[in-house]
Amino acid sequence: MEETNDTLSLVLFSGTDDKLAAAAVLTVGAAAMGRSVNLFLQYWALDAFRADRILKDHGVSAEAGPEGASFMRLMSETGGQQHWSTLLSQAKDIGEVGIHACALSMDMFGITKEELDPIVDDVEGVAAFMGEATGPIVFI
């Protein structure tokens, strides 16, 4: 597949399942279309990538409201949508996708590399991430 130089950089801040799922769909789409993708995990998103809780229920964002939250729960049980971590694995499988943990967030939350799910490639400082972020940056 012809590669373009349009690296897509996604900064994942939110740790709720709806936003992580949206980010995962963007990642898999970009990877399918031959764009390299860099994900930078900060704050609550980083927390959601802990190996012991990546598949747990991370709730939905505040704007969902109670009705949206129950809708999302129903969708996750019956919708047939794959878990966001599965989509990210697929994206890594078909394209060039790097998942980097923010060094500052690691410190803040007292998380070690060993505690993260193996889908996370490495721990990176913000400058290193920005050095690779030559294309658009999306913050979720």
Partner 1 sequence: MTVEQITRSIDARGMPCPGPLMSLIGAIREGQVGDVIEVLSSDEGSKTDIPAWIAKAKHELVEVVSEAGFARFIVRKAR
Helix/strand/coil percentages in the chain, nearest 5: 50, 15, 35
Considering the rule CB under 8 A, would residue 68 count as an interface residue with partner 1?
A: no
Provide, rounded to whole angstroms, the least separation between the CB of residue 25 and partner 1.
6
CB-based contact 40:46 (threshold 8 Å): no
Q: What is the CA radius of gyration of the chain?
A: 15
**Which of the stretches 27-35, 37-45, 53-61, 125-133 binds partner 1 when contact is defined by CB under 8 A?**
27-35
Considering the rule CB under 8 A, would residue 74 count as an interface residue with partner 1?
A: no
Structure tokens at 140: 């979720």
**111 Cβ neighbours under 8 A, 6+ residues apart:** 46, 47, 50, 101, 105
Q: Which of 51, 74, 94, 108 binds partner 1 (CB under 8 A)?
A: 94
Provide, rounded to whole angstroms, the least separation between the CB of residue 2 and partner 1.
7
Closer to partner 1 at the Cβ: 25 or 128?
25
Judged by the rule CB under 8 A, the positions of this chain that interact with partner 1 are 1-2, 25, 28-29, 32-34, 79-82, 87, 90, 94
